[in-house]
Each structure stands twice: as C-alpha cells, then as structure tokens.
Amino acid sequence: MLVLGIESSCDETAAALVQDGHCVLSNVVASQVKTHRSFGGVVPELASREHLKNIGYVVERAFRDAGRTYRDIDGIAVTQGPGLIGSLLVGLSFAKAMAFALGKPLVPVNHLEGHIFSAFIEHAEIRHPLLALVVSGGHTSLVFSPEPEKYERVSRTRDDAAGEALDKLSKYLGLGYPGGPVIDRLARKGHSSRFAFSIPKISDGSLDFSFSGFKTAALRHIEQSGIRPHIKGRRVSQAILDLVASYQKAIVDTLLRQTRRAVEQYRPASILLVGGVACNSLLRKSFRGAFEDSAGAGSERGASARPPFPRVYYPSPALTTDNAAMIAAAGTPKLRVGRSLELDLNAFADLRLC
C-alpha cells in the first residue's frame, strides 16, 4: 500500500510517500526556521502563510523524488491536530482537495500518534505493550499502548513542554533559535554540576511533568552570577556553557525519572523515545544507559524473570522532528481496514490522542 502523508501542524511543511508503512520512498520537509528566527519562536500567522506558499511544491517534490505519479497512491493521510489551527487547515484543505480530485480515500492522523509511528518505520520488530515518551517543543507526555492503535495517556506536562523550556532559555541568553539543538551542542562544553536545579515533585504523586520551575531557577542563577546574554560573534562564556549544561541535565533527569516510574508501573515490552527533543544527545545517552544496560543485565536473570526488560527504540534524526513519513506510516493501518472520512473533515488545535 502506497500512502501520501501530509504534515503542517506547526512550522514544517512536509509531504512523504511511504510504502506499506515502513519503506520511505520520499520525505520532503520545507523548514521555516529562517522565517521565525528573528522572533525567537514560531509566529502562527507567518507559519500559515509559509505553508500556503510551500504546500504545492512540497507535495509535487515528494512524488518526483519517489518516481511515482498521483494515481499511484492508495490513499492520503493528513495531520488533523493538535497544532496551530491555521497551519493545520492548510495541510488538511490541500489533502481534502487532492483526495476529492483523485477519488482516493483520506484518513486523519493525530500528530502525536504520528510521532509514535515514526519509530516503527525503521523498527518493525517493536512489540506491544509499549510506553512512548513523546517530547518536543509543543508536547511532553508519556503514552501507554497495550496494542496497536490503542492508547492511554500516562502523564503530560502541566505547564511548558521540555523543548519549549530549552527554547526559552536559549532565547533569553541570546544563543539562537531553535534553542534545543543549540543548547545540546553548547552543553557538551559545560559542567553540568555547577548550577543546582531541583527536580519538581508533583504533590498528588502523578507521573506528570513540570518544567516552568527550571526557567525560574535559571533566571535566578543568571541574576546571582551576573551572567550577561551572549553577543553574537563572541565566544560563549564558560558561565553560560555551565548553565545550559546544568539546565539541560535537570530536564533530562526529570524525563528519565518519570519514565522509569512509568516503566515500573506499566511493564512495557518496548520503550519509544520520539519527538523533536528525542534528538538530544544527552537524552538518548541517558535512556540507553538506564534501559538498554538494564536489559543486558536482566538477560542473565533467566526466563523466569518478570516482566521482560524493555528494549529502547528511537527514530533517526530525519524522522524525529516533524515530518510527513510518520503521518503516512500512522495512516497506513487505518487505510488498510477501509477507514475513510467524509470531506467535511476539520482540524482541531487541541486534538487529544487519548
């Protein structure tokens, strides 16, 4: 089954052709980083305009790269939400028009489900039940999936997303946009023990996340240590390097701690680390050390050990950030069972997965 995926939930206009949910024939992404960089974040109206300008070219390029024609596809999968409503409507409207013109079935996909399926593209061996940490600039949540396409929300962030917290500190320090990759790179040169950050504890004992306190603590460290914002063209000060290293470690430790607790509670066979922040080198290293090393040690306990130690999976960088291949992959099983909605399908900025 050949599926066209279309993604436009935020600031990436993307289209992809995926065969049978695993073979990526093309995966085209038009980035808007240059458009939003001077603002230090995504401007919704500008994002919508960029999607309008790019959507036709991106879809055409996806077919050209794959060496296929419009008539070759078996169906279309498009992001329905969550995301910026104006951006979502651009992709959704284009997909509906294309489905109508070609007489092809159309299925909506939740953006978070797309991120979960991004791991399956390269790892068909992933087993259920699974626990997915979806962590990006707009989302931070743990999702439990006992079987394919069945989801239970384990936890969510009660304030900022992890990626948003990284972006905001980067903006405040004048380090650039998007902030997550910048902080990841600079943190390797810093000392993560120099500045203390307390990992928040949710009073009701839930597995929810909270990151706003880290920003407050960072501002306090900046004021107390007399740290000045970075001036472009100059060498980044050691104090800033140490601060971003300490800040990043605190965020990663929080993500890891809550995931550990969820693993103990839900006993998954697989752990997925997905979303844009899943590219973070410290986060990947920490997950490998926490779970893959444990899996190796657990193999010596014998077959009677319960539960089996979970394996950790994460997509390659190209499939980690927002892309349309993951939307096509998530839409494939829906199209296989004949699901197709009417063309009055609408977008929802706050669409829930579970």
Residue-level pLDDT at 296: 44
Q: Which residue has the tokens 């390097």?
A: 241
Q: What is the pLDDT of residues 211-239, one digit of tens each?
A: 999 999 999 999 999 999 998 889 999 99
Residue 27 has pLDDT above 50, yes or no: yes
Give me the mean pLDDT over the 107-120 stretch: 97
Residue-level pLDDT at 306: 42
> Within the chain, which residue ranges are assigned CATH 3.30.420.40?
2-116+317-336, 128-268+276-313
Tokens (6 digits) for 55: 């959507």
Residue 244 has pLDDT above 60, yes or no: yes
Band of pLDDT at residue 315, cut at 50, 70 and 90: very high
pTM for this prediction: 0.92
The Cα 245–Cα 250 span in angstroms is: 9
CA torsion sign for 262, 351, 75, 15 is negative
Residue-level pLDDT at 308: 57
**What percentage of the chain has pLDDT greater than the value 70?**
95
Rounded to the nearest integer, the mean pLDDT of the chain is 92
Which residues does residue 135 pair with via DSSP β-bridges, in sequence order? 140
Q: In this predicted structure, which of 92-101, 140-149, 201-210 has the lowest mean pLDDT?
A: 201-210
The architecture of the domain spanning 128-268+276-313 is: 2-Layer Sandwich (3.30)
Give me the mean pLDDT over the 272-285 stretch: 95
Q: How are beta strands 2-7 and 75-81 bridged, if at all?
A: parallel
Q: What is the pLDDT of residues 49-60, one digit of tens each?
A: 999 999 999 999
Q: What are the φ and ψ backbone dihedral angles of 269, each rounded to 5 degrees?
A: -85, -25
H or E segment at 293?
Answer: helix 293-298
List the one residue out of 279, 345, 347, 353 whose CA is nearest residue 7: 347
Q: What is the pLDDT of residues 166-198, one digit of tens each?
A: 999 999 999 988 899 999 999 999 999 999 999
Cβ within 8 Å of residue 175, ≥6 positions away: 182, 183, 186, 230, 236, 240, 244
Residue-level pLDDT at 302: 38
Give me the mean pLDDT over the 65-73 stretch: 98
The side-by-side arrangement of strands in the sheet containing 311-313 is 152-156, 140-145, 130-135, 270-274, 311-313
Contact 167, 180 (CB under 8 A): yes
- Helices (DSSP H) in the chain: which residue ranges? 33-37, 44-66, 85-102, 111-122, 162-172, 179-187, 212-225, 238-266, 281-287, 293-298, 317-320, 325-336
Q: How many helices (H) and strands (E) does the chain have?
A: 12, 10
Q: What is the pLDDT of residues 320-350, one digit of tens each?
A: 999 999 999 999 999 999 877 777 899 999 9
Q: Side chain identity at 354, as an amino acid letter?
A: C
Q: What are the φ and ψ backbone dihedral angles of 340, each rounded to 5 degrees?
A: -165, 125
Residue 299 has pLDDT above 50, yes or no: no
DSSP 123-160: -TT--SSEEEEEESSS-EEEEEESSTT--EEEEEBSS-
Residue 305 has pLDDT above 60, yes or no: no
State which fold the 2-116+317-336 domain adopts.
Nucleotidyltransferase; domain 5 (3.30.420)
Residue 298 has pLDDT above 60, yes or no: no
Band of pLDDT at residue 291, cut at 50, 70 and 90: confident
Q: How many Cβ atoms sit within 10 Å of the Cβ of residue 295?
A: 15
Contact 94, 6 (CB under 8 A): yes
Structure-model confidence comparison of residues 297 and 289, the more confident one: 289
Residues comprising the chain, all counted: 354
Band of pLDDT at residue 294, cut at 50, 70 and 90: low
Q: Side chain identity at 131, as an amino acid letter?
A: L
Residue-level pLDDT at 303: 39
